[in-house]
A and B are shown apart, each in its own frame.
Chain A
Amino acid sequence: AGQDVGRSCILVSIGGKNIMLDCGMHMGYNDDRRFPDFSYITQNGRLTDFLDCVIISHFHLDHCGALPYMSEMVGYDGPIYMTHPTKAICPILLEDFRKITVDKKGETNFFTSQMIKDCMKKVVPLNLHQTVQVDDELEIKAYYAGHVLGAAMVHIKVGSESVVYTGDYNMTPDRHLGAAWIDKCRPDILISESTYATTIRDSKRCRERDFLKKVHETIERGGKVLIPVFALGRAQELCILLETFWERMNLKAPIYFSTGLTEKANHYYKLFITWTNQKIRKTFVQRNMFEFKHIKAFDRSYADNPGPMVVFATPGMLHAGQSLQIFKKWAGNEKNMVIMPGYCVQGTIGHKILNGQRKLEMEGRSTLDVKLQVEYMSFSAHADAKGIMQLIRMAEPRNMLLVHGEAVKMEFLKGKIEQEFSIDCYMPANGETATVTTNPSVPVDISLNLLKREMALGGPLPDPKKPRTMHGTLIMKENSLKLVSSEQALKELGLNEHQLRFTCRVQLQDPHSDPDTLHRIYTHLKSVLKGYTIQHLPDGTVMVESIVIKVSSSAEDPNTKVLLLSWSYQVKRCHRQL
């Protein structure tokens, strides 16, 4: 998904581990370009040898569509991680997708139902905020991402290096899902989607209110409302919206949704209450919000019933199926209304009527007069530019990597990110690799005794923000690092301690005898070096701390005294003063 939307598939190498993030497909193509190029990873040999794990962020086909192809047809036996709801809903969508491609379009060489099942057997489910150890070093943790039911952001950590992959996420809560959230995990790279990199959106409430008002007015007029939707995601949000509105306003008109996929999906929404927003989570004890009271399953015959009604029907772009049938039936009456809740691809009827076309040419040369009202209402579940910035602020990454967006828009966001946070930002194109050097910290075991000794040396409490120097010996042994005191190091390594002493000779002209000279030096030092322990030892030496001073007269000239100074390598300051 480098610099384009859809077909998400990202490879991350971190600390010697290779992870595949998402395994999506492109909806626009019907040939090989549809799936990611797995030969990029390895030409021959199975993917299992190369990949440590695969992580799927959510169930949209552009994030998981190529999964059975990869695991069953290309061959991958390693673990696949996804959240529980994703695991539950993903196979439904894959199966639906397979049906359309194989049964309707008659493609061969496509994965089978059995393959989907086999693929799902390799899936390891994840819980929110649960840290899962993939192997000894690699651990992953999922965070809530909003967007759709079960969407997750993943935090991947190897040693001290870490990556956060957001998948698709939404920072503003909606009617059935909460907002994405992550803690201050300070990853090395944050890989974020950037679908709406150049958009700042208005409050959702206005749009919702408009939507409800329009529906309400039509119903009061006795008209029928058609809402073409895709089965998952927005459909549920709109259902909840209408359901609560009906409840609030005490309305009686029936609401229907077309059976099939949506019904199955609603079942899962009912089960995964913990993944929904505050309101639904709070009230499900009294009533599960997805157990709709006003919304009933649709039957084809209902379309001809008199009186007002609201119908959700698939597919969303009015290009085929039930939604189109109903549309044809209702288009002639100006009391009716169709609400398009999302984007429509060019060429579809949805696109045509949105652009104000009032006469449609249907197959078989017949024309259809569009008299009903056409409304457009967009609800998007991606983070806008502000949301992306907010997430960056929450996670505080050291580097940023933008994917899943258009290049021009990413450029803008990239500039902004670099300016606001002063961190590096990358936006690789498809097939391009971005390399980020990290500054890994190496953990070292430290012996308790050494620490305590250091503590005893005084000073204020250790400040975590300031480095501090200490003496010790670093031992590298069997893949582990240890910091111990020098004595212990000697003991462990079985070495003898060597004293390193420096000596120097200073020649002085002094007529006095040796002991006298020594005494004079002693008294002089005493007056100069206050605060040091100075001893005059009986064996004819003076000790200043650990510095030894000896005096001997040279053989040839008794007046020339040779001053011998000897000190160990640790002592320096004192000597300078001598």
Chain B
Amino acid sequence: MAAHLKKRVYEEFSKVVQELRSLPAVCRNTFSVSAIVCRQIPHEEAPAKKLRLSKPSKSAALHIDLCKATNSTDALQYLLQFARKPVETESVEGVVRILLEHYYKETDNSVRLKIASLLGLLSKTQGFTPDCIVDDAINTLGNEKSHQVLAQLLDTLLVIGTQLPESPAVRQRLIEVACKHLSDTYFGVRIKCLQLLGCLGMVDTPLSKDNEGLGGPLGGVRDVQNIISDYFGDQDPRVRTAALKAMLQLHERGMKIHDIIYDQACRLLSDDYEQVRSAAVQMVWVLSQLYPESIVPIPSSNEEIRLVDDAFGKISHMVSDGSWMVRVQAAKTLGSMLQVSPHFLEQTLDKKLMSDLRRKRTAHERAKDLFTSGEFSSGRKWADDAPKEKLDTNTVNLIASGACGAFVHGLEDEMFEVRIAAVEALCHLARSSPSFAEKCLDFLVDMFNDEIEEVRLQSIHVLRQISTHITLREDQLDTVLAVLEDSSRDIREALHELICYTNVSTKECIQLALLELLKNLNKYPTDRNSVWKCLKFLGSRHPTLVLPLVPELLSTHPYFDTPEPDMDDPAYIAVLVLVFNAAKSCPTMPALFSDHTFRHYAYLRDSLSHLVPPLRLPGHGLDLVDSRGSGSVESAQLFLQQSLNRISTIQNLEAPGAQDLLDFTIRMKVSMLMCLSSCPSIRDLRRLGELQTELAGAADFCATYLRCQLLLMKALQEKLWNMAVPLCLKQNVTATAAAQQILEETYKLEFLYSGLDSRQVATIHHIRLQAKALQLILTARTRQGLDPLINSCEKFLQEIESFQRLFLAELPHLQDGFVDKLLELMPRLSSCKPVELVKILQTTLRQSGLLQLRLPEQIHRATATIIEPTGESDNPLRFTSGLVVALDIDATLEHVQDPQNTVKVQVLYPDGQSHVIHPKPADFRKPGPDRHRLITQVYLSHTAWTEPSQIEVRLLLAYSASSTSLSSSSKLGWSDSIDGLLPPEAAVEGTIPFSKPVKVYIMPKPARR
């Protein structure tokens, strides 16, 4: 064995070995390797320069260290040091051999343990296949006495096993090993064995179980699940947990768990240890999802119920468990059991109250009764809630059996984690069952009063999500609206969002809501936009309910003229927004308006067009009523498609022309034609974007792309190509500018739009490459001297390579494109001189056709609007120069991915200085899908400032070209494989301004003397 090992070690030095064989004395030595390495040094300058090891081998170094170690503590130290440094892929095997060799000699447990763990770590090295060490590892397992080391070795085997997923032989062996050690007395070993079984146990092949101590009555053939389930009853809770986890692992790997496990798992729900219970909850859930419809008997009766209902009941029971971890788990799990029957589902909200053995009604029921009886809550009497009917003692069930009151418990839990989990579960269940949504409404509304803000916020969000199913009663609305006065902005905005989606039942509700919203507006004027928006939806949702309120709202009088309200009053605007939106679908309403209302309408329609819809007004029929029907989106889409098609036909036209290389004039004409025709289409697209917001992103994207193409064309059509170098300097300027602009536009294309697929990204990169080629040619033509040229040529070649690497899958789609042609010429390119290269580029660039852009499906442009500061304010922000002043910024971002890292705030000072500020991640909130809100403070500071002047604030989108959405960042594993990869592309970092700049007037205070 030792000899074999040694040989394997030498193989690493294969280049040297032949030579060293001539040193026979050394090779017999056990410590030969160290000797060899020591001898290498003189050999290096010796004539035999065959030693090709470019760097000192890790394995060799390790071996020396290990041999030097006199006692186990030293050895452990060396190993620990060794573990800190990465190992190259090629030397892993050598290291492993040395470690194993040392392992056999080592007597100290801790050192062996460390070696075993190192083996596991090494097996994870990328590019190393650990199948060669399986045998050794299993062998060592056989001789090991220490339980801890045994456990660690099994862990190593687990790593090896997971590294070799497609080797059934190894698997089979590992499973056998695991089965053998399952009867170990040390819990750690059993846990590892179970993990092994869980990770590697095979789905189909049954295991033969013989000569095990277990030898149950089944004997013979048993499968993995059977074996694992034996350990559900283990004496050690950790092993029980591991067994459950292993079973779950099997499930995750796609193995179908037998339904007999269900009973066992249910028994574990009442285990003494929380981790077991927690795992058991998961297990029961998995089984309930696998066999929802199978029938289980109810103990102590003859009835039978569906398994999913039974499981639901059992998990509900766990919501009142002693450990809050289990409670959280159970509450979360409940939310995903959508197949449960409605009868059971409704039980979760069931709670029978009693007082002195008399049935009492819950506050919810009382509120409902009061409401239906038409009397509004008096709640003034002491014995208001006095119990009424007498209860039969036998019918009172104190122990909530099954699902009874699970959510009632969960929502009242001590830990807010449990409450949040319960609220989320309610949300999931309610979304799939309208009747349940109706029932849980009261409970959710109650949660608005929770002491922890997170819970309140969450329940508001949940209510919004289920609001399609429900109509709020007046008393419920009352409690909901009470929250509008909350001092937390998040809560208020969430609530506004909720009101946008709420249905209410009566006109009193509308009045109530309006009143509360106006109160809110009065108390927190910053909520203006959000309140208006809220009223817009409220109006458009309930036109008939608003109608009877109109005279009161607009304070009109049948006989008298009332004074004209102040148009600048936000409250009045709020009322108007409500009324106008209701009037949109209620044609009788405008008849109630007074004259000034129409004037105000005209004004608001202009100034707040996003809040005030177009109305058909009698006599004022001048307003454009949108005649676009529901089909308008489709028609716009059609139009977009058509304009794109038109461009592609131009391209097709061009194609035959392009074949004729000599016929330059035709090309010229075609290109001119294209210029002409695409200019209007760009305009078309722009206009389309304005008209149809749904398609704005796509249209914008296409237009930008076309403009890039156009610029490129124009640059190529310049006459400069025929001129002599010195003459074209002036022409060059425009071409250079064009190239630069295209580059910028491509970055915008790539990073400003979300929803691009890889083909579009490839197209963008393609045009960028063209622009770069153009730049290269231009530099070649203008600059003198070769050195910079060589540099840029090399850079360009690298770019082509990386393009090829990134978009390998997309290359077939880029046929006839620039890159396609270049790649054909690639072998020639890489070897030719820069001047030649430039020439080739020039011709290919001019020959290559236009790539057609496939119509992007769902493209959105990232946009940002700065709500605050508004930029209209005339009162300057005062500050003392030299000190810091804080400027509040409030902006909404749409379709921005990962805003925490990309969005920055730029401040431009009057003297031209600019600061870029990175907001804190906590400043971003996410009120809706694809929407973010940035509320932050920017600190301004400037030393020399005397006059009041304006600063500009804008938002930037930062990007770095290396972090393309497609290029997968290579994970650096334990081994640093940096030199193995190509050098990373030079990260091009930049920023795109994507919001309108806002000017803020700032005035320094006179400096104090």
Residues of A with Cβ closer than 8 Å to B?
A: 172-173, 175, 178-179, 181-184, 198-210, 212-214, 216, 244, 247-250, 277-279, 340, 354-356, 373-376, 385-386, 389-390, 393-394, 409, 412, 415-416, 420, 455, 458-465
Across the interface, which residues of B come within 8 angstroms of A458, CB to CB? Answer: 213
Interface flag for B381 (CB, 8 Å): yes
Binary contact readout B435-454 vs A (1 if CB under 8 angstroms, 0 otherwise): 00000000100110111100
Q: Are B354 and A375 in contact (CB under 8 A)?
A: no
- Select B235's contact among A214, A412, A462, beta carbons within 8 Å: A462
Q: List 28 A-B contacts (CB under 8 A).
A: A172-B412, A181-B322, A198-B356, A199-B355, A200-B353, A200-B398, A201-B353, A202-B351, A202-B353, A203-B363, A203-B411, A205-B446, A206-B363, A208-B449, A209-B449, A210-B379, A214-B379, A216-B482, A248-B485, A249-B485, A249-B486, A278-B415, A279-B452, A356-B381, A376-B382, A394-B322, A455-B185, A464-B235
B649 sits at the interface (CB 8 A): no
Complex formed: what's the CA distance from A293 to B452 in Å?
18
Q: Is B362 in contact with chain A by the CB < 8 A criterion? A: yes
Are the CB atoms of B353 and A278 closer together than 8 Å?
Answer: no
Query: Top 4 closest A-B pairs, CB basis?
Result: A206-B363, A173-B414, A376-B382, A250-B487
Decide: A184 near B322, CB < 8 A? Known: A208-B449, A249-B487.
yes
In angstroms, Cα B185 to Cα A460, docked, is 11
B412–A375 contact, CB under 8 A?
A: no
Contacts of A412 in B (CB 8 A): 357, 393
B958 — which chain A residues lie within 8 A by C-beta?
A: none
Contacting pair B351 A205 (CB below 8 A):
no
Closest to A214 in B: B379
By the criterion CB–CB under 8 Å, are B357 and A198 in contact? Answer: yes
A202–B443 CA distance with the chains assembled, in angstroms = 12
A179–B408 CB distance below 8 A: no
Residue of B nearest to A413 (CB): B398
0/1 string, B230-244, CB within 8 A of A gives 1: 000111000000000
| B414 A175 Cβ-Cβ under 8 A | no
CA distance A249 to B519 in the complex (A): 12
Nearest-neighbor residue (CB-CB) of B442 within chain A: A206
The minimal Cβ–Cβ distance linking B876 to chain A, given in whole angstroms, is 28
B596 interfacial contact with A, CB 8 Å: no
When the two chains form their complex, are residues A416 and B320 in contact, meaning their CB atoms are under 8 A apart?
no
Please name the residue on chain A nearest to B408 by beta carbon.
A203
A202-B362 contact in complex given A184-B272, A420-B398, C-beta closer than 8 Å: yes
User: Which residue, A340, A373, A393, has most C-beta atoms of chain B within 10 A?
Assistant: A393
Most chain B beta-carbon contacts within 10 A, residue among A184, A203, A463: A203
- Give every chain B residue within 8 A of A455 (Cβ-Cβ): 185
Contact assessment for A203 and B412 in the assembled complex, using a CB-CB cutoff below 8 Å? yes
The listed residue (B351, B412, B416) touching A200 by CB distance below 8 A is B351
* B857–chain A nearest beta-carbon distance, Å: 45
Residues of B within 8 A of A461 (CB): 183, 185, 213, 234-235
Which of A198, A203, A210, A250 contacts B485, CB < 8 Å?
A: A250
Give the interface size bracket for B toward A: 35 or more
Q: Assuming A455-B185, A460-B214, what are 12 further A-B pairs, CB within 8 angstroms?
A: A173-B414, A178-B414, A200-B398, A202-B351, A203-B446, A206-B363, A209-B449, A278-B416, A355-B382, A356-B382, A386-B400, A420-B398
Least Cβ–Cβ distance between A346 and chain B, in angstroms: 13
Say yes or no: is B364 at the interface (Cβ < 8 Å to chain A): yes
Asked whether, in the complex, the Cβ of B380 is within 8 Å of the Cβ of A250, the reply is no
Residues from chain B with Cβ under 8 Å of A210 in the complex:
363, 379
B624 interface contact, C-beta 8 A: no
B235 proximity list for chain A (CB < 8 A): 461-464
Contacting residues, chain B, for A460 (C-beta < 8 A):
183, 213-215
Residues of B within 8 A of A464 (CB): 235
CB < 8 Å: which of B215, B449, B488 contacts A205?
B449
Q: How many angstroms from the CA of A339 to the CA of B351 in the assembled complex?
A: 27
When C-beta atoms are compared, the residue in chain A nearest to B455 turns out to be: A279
| Interchain nearest-CB distance for A141 vs B (Å) | 16
Bound Cα distance A546, B382 (Å): 89
Q: Which of B326-363 contact A (CB under 8 A)?
A: 351-357, 360, 362-363
Q: How far is the CB of B392 from chain A (nearest CB, A)?
A: 11
Counting CB contacts under 8 A, is B529 at the interface? no
- A173/B412 contact (C-beta < 8 A), A205-B446, A248-B488, A420-B398 known: yes
- For B447, the chain A residues whose CB sits under 8 A away are 205
A386 touching B322, Cβ below 8 Å: no
Interface membership of chain B positions 617-642, coded 1 if the CB is closer than 8 angstroms to chain A and 0 otherwise: 00000000000000000000000000
A269 to B: closest C-beta gap in Å: 16
A247:B487 contact, CB within 8 angstroms: yes
Residues of A within 8 A of B488 (CB): 248
Known: A200-B354, A248-B486. A206 touches B446 (CB 8 A): yes
Judge whether B890 is part of the interface by a CB distance below 8 angstroms: no
Task: Tell me how far the C-beta of B901 lies from the nearest C-beta in chain A, rounded to whole angstroms.
Answer: 28
When the two chains form their complex, are residues A415 and B351 in contact, meaning their CB atoms are under 8 A apart? no
From residue B273, how far is it (CB to closest CB) to chain A in Å? 9
Given A179, A214, A375, A390, which contacts B414 in the complex, CB threshold below 8 Å? A179
Q: Report how far A376 CA is from B360 CA in the complex, Å.
A: 17
Minimal beta-carbon separation of A464 from chain B (angstroms): 5
Q: How far is the CA of A463 from the CA of B380 in the complex (A)?
A: 63
Contacts A173-B414, A183-B322, A278-B415; A199 near B362 (Cβ below 8 A) = no
- Chain B residues in 8 Å Cβ range of A212: 449
Please name all residues of chain A whose beta carbon is closer than 8 Å to the beta carbon of B379 when the two chains form the complex.
210, 214, 375
The residues in B between 453 and 507 inclusive whose CB is less than 8 angstroms from any CB of A are 479, 482, 485-488
Bound Cα distance A455, B184 (Å): 12
Mask for B266-299, Cβ within 8 A of A = 1, else 0?
0000001000000000000000000000000000
B399 within 8 A of A: yes
Residues on the A chain within 8 Å of B185, using CB: 455, 461
Among candidates B215, B364, B412, B482, residue contacting A204 with C-beta atoms closer than 8 Å: B412
A460 to chain B, nearest CB (A): 6
What residues on A are CB-neighbors of B381 within 8 Å?
Answer: 356, 376
With CB as the reference atom, state the residue of chain B lying closest to A416.
Answer: B398
Which chain A residues lie closer than 8 Å to B272 at the CB level?
184
For the complex, what is the distance from the CA of A203 to the CA of B449, rounded to whole Å? 12
Residues of B within 8 A of A393 (CB): 320, 399
B523 and A250 contact, CB distance less than 8 A: yes
B413 at the interface (CB under 8 A from A): yes
B396 within 8 A of A: yes
Cα–Cα distance between A208 and B479 once the two chains are bound (Å): 12
Q: Quick check: B449 and A375 within 8 Å, CB to CB? A: no
User: How many angstroms from the CA of A189 to the CA of B750 in the assembled complex?
Assistant: 72
A280: nearest residue on chain B (CB-CB)? B451
Instruction: Point out the residues of chain A lying under 8 angstroms from B523, CB to CB.
Output: 250
Q: Is the CB of A209 within 8 A of B446?
A: yes
Complex CA gap A205/B450 in Å reads 8
Which residues of chain B have C-beta atoms less than 8 A from A420's C-beta? 398-399
Contacting pair B416 A279 (CB below 8 A): yes
Contact assessment for B482 and A213 in the assembled complex, using a CB-CB cutoff below 8 Å: yes
Q: Which residues of B contact A356 (CB under 8 A)?
A: 381-382
Q: Mark B205-243, 1 if CB is under 8 A from A, else 0.
A: 000000001110000000000000000011100000000
B320 touches A173 (CB 8 A): no
Of A244, A249, A250, which one neighbours B451 at CB under 8 angstroms? Answer: A244
Contact A389 B398 (CB under 8 A): yes
Residue of A nearest to B322 (CB): A394
CB neighbours of B356 from chain A (8 A): 198-199, 409
Complex: how many Å from CA A432 to CA B214?
A: 54
Known A-B contacts A175-B451, A461-B185; the reply to A373 vs B380 at CB < 8 A is yes
- Nearest Cβ distance between residue B186 and chain A, in whole angstroms? 11
**Shortest CB distance A43–B (Å):** 41
A338 to chain B, nearest CB (A): 12
Determine the distance from Cα of A562 to Cα of B190 in the docked complex, in whole angstroms: 58
Q: Identify the closest chain A residue to B482 (Cβ).
A: A213
**Smallest CB-CB separation from B182: which chain A residue?**
A461
CA A100 to CA B364, docked complex, whole Å: 43
CB of B396 within 8 A of CB of A416, answer yes
Contacts of B234 in A (CB 8 A): 461
